[in-house]
Structure 1
């Protein structure tokens, strides 16, 4: 040693169970042995607890990452389950949830339920193929998107069927909206180079929102109006 004197060291094994963590070298007297032996056991136990704590912290971090992955996947699945694949609009499930939410949050507010139908989808598919039919359906989605506001709700709920929840408090707005959609279709068809016209029939039902509102009944009423409107559509959407 640097002090030139003789020293007596005692070596203590730092361990816990079968796990060895190191050695503790102590320059002590013989009578101090029991005390430092207990100290070495406590150090070994502390190191064991530290190791366990680090392992648990690592597991918690992994669990947090796994939960984040699960939440993200669930979010994506939720979007997929509530949206129409072809148009990106809500499907019937997503629309119904949004409509119920509106009725619970906005009580005693005038609104309009609109059923829309792409005219003569079967004719398009039969004469020009399903890609043409898909084009027409996506076109209807874009036309209707352009006719509503950002807080209105738009969905494709069937082959050629669309639903709109129009959150409008203006009385008698039905004809105004019909004209807006008709003008949008005319503008679209003027620009389109397709051999067919894209036209939309509408059934519109006015209702007052509230927790007791029967969304399915309101949709059924709008659908009945749509049935009447389809009687007046042209017989063919082939371009003249």
Structure 2
């Protein structure tokens, strides 16, 4: 971002003391100038957005005429092209995660704000938004499953890792493969294979939270990036997926049984993480399970 450019900023904040504080913080950035506009309520802000263009929106979630995540959604749904950074006193981490999942560029607690941090977040938010607009033009979702495709998953994973570092959450990564996909296609046709993929994607959406990142990487391969409280959550989430599929098999009229092989790893985002290498590692663990299944089936056939 150019040193001499002026960033046109809309600050939507109903507390006069907070408005003054954020203005002072921004003005302390000597290398970047800010053209700051203020609104005290959401209705006034929406009118201003209709009449003006802005580089970024700094948004408080608690206003006189709107509250919580709905405040963000009302702005984002109408002005998706403008990056939004949420500045709030709400300390609920799930609100922060949900806001990012729904499209916020970042989330910053007011008591964490410093001139350097706010400037960096604003710059990154504008740059990420520009990148996302380019990616959206190329499509980052899979038409069949409506999940992120490989490109979308890899790019969004970096944003999730950055947020995990800030809120000091551990990360789990799952590599999930639909067993017997080729056999389903060969015996029952590709339309049936597509139906199996859609069902697996539905299971993943039901088993994981809206704040988790789910992707259909290629063919029969899926990946999920999740925020964890402990390493024990990995096995619990694996079993949740397997149990859901098993329940489907018990009531399904399909001529085949669905199953998945899963590889999962536990990561500390405070360490240097290469997401592609992490995927490769989880992929190897998944193939170990798949190989064990084949050995078990072979021994049963011999018996």
Q: TM-score, normalised by structure 2?
A: 0.51
Aligned-pair distance for 1:81?
A: 1.1
Partner of 1:91: 149
- 1:157 partnered with 2:211: no
SS where residue 218 of structure 2 aligns? coil
- 1:98-146 CA-to-partner distances (Å, cap 9, x unmatched) read 1101112221531111000000000000100001100000010011111
Give the corresponding residue for 2:277. 217
CA contact (8 A) 1:117 1:201 kept: yes
Number of residue equivalences: 167
Looking at structure 1, the residues matched to 170 and 137 of structure 2 have their Cα atoms a distance apart, in angstroms, of 28
1:25 corresponding residue in structure 2: none
User: Do the aligned partners of 2:147 and 2:216 also contact (CA within 8 Å) in 1?
Assistant: yes
Is 1:116 aligned to 2:176, yes or no? Answer: yes
1:173 paired to 2:233:
yes
SS at match of 1:212: coil
Structure 2 regions of 5+ residues with no counterpart? 1-52, 54-77, 82-131, 299-303
Partner of residue 158 from structure 2, selected from 59, 81, 100: 100
Q: In terms of Rg, which structure is larger?
A: 1
Query: More relative contact order in 1 or in 2 (CA 8 Å, sep 6+)?
Result: 1
Flag the 1:174–1:135 CA change in 2: closer, same or farther, 3 A. same
In 2: Cα distance, 1:75 partner to 1:100 partner: 16
Deviation of 1:205 after TM superposition, in Å, equals 0.7
Cα separation, 2, equivalents of 1:178 and 1:215: 20
Report the equivalent of 2:116: none
Separation in structure 2 between the aligned mates of residue 192 and residue 153 of structure 1, nearest angstrom: 28
Distance 1:79 1:111 in 2: 29
Whole-angstrom distance in 2 between the partners of 1:208 and 1:166:
12
Task: State how 1:54-69 maps to structure 2 within 5 Å.
Answer: none
Tell me if structure 1 keeps the 8 A contact 2:147–2:214: yes
The aligned counterpart of 2:262 is: 202
Is the 1:95–1:154 contact (alpha carbons within 8 Å) kept by the matching residues of 2? yes
> After superposition, what is the alpha-carbon deviation per residue over 1:159-194, rounded to whole angstroms, capped at 9, x for unaligned?
000000011122222221221111100111122211
Does the residue aligned with 1:231 lie in a helix, a strand or coil?
Answer: helix
TM-score by length of 1: 0.64
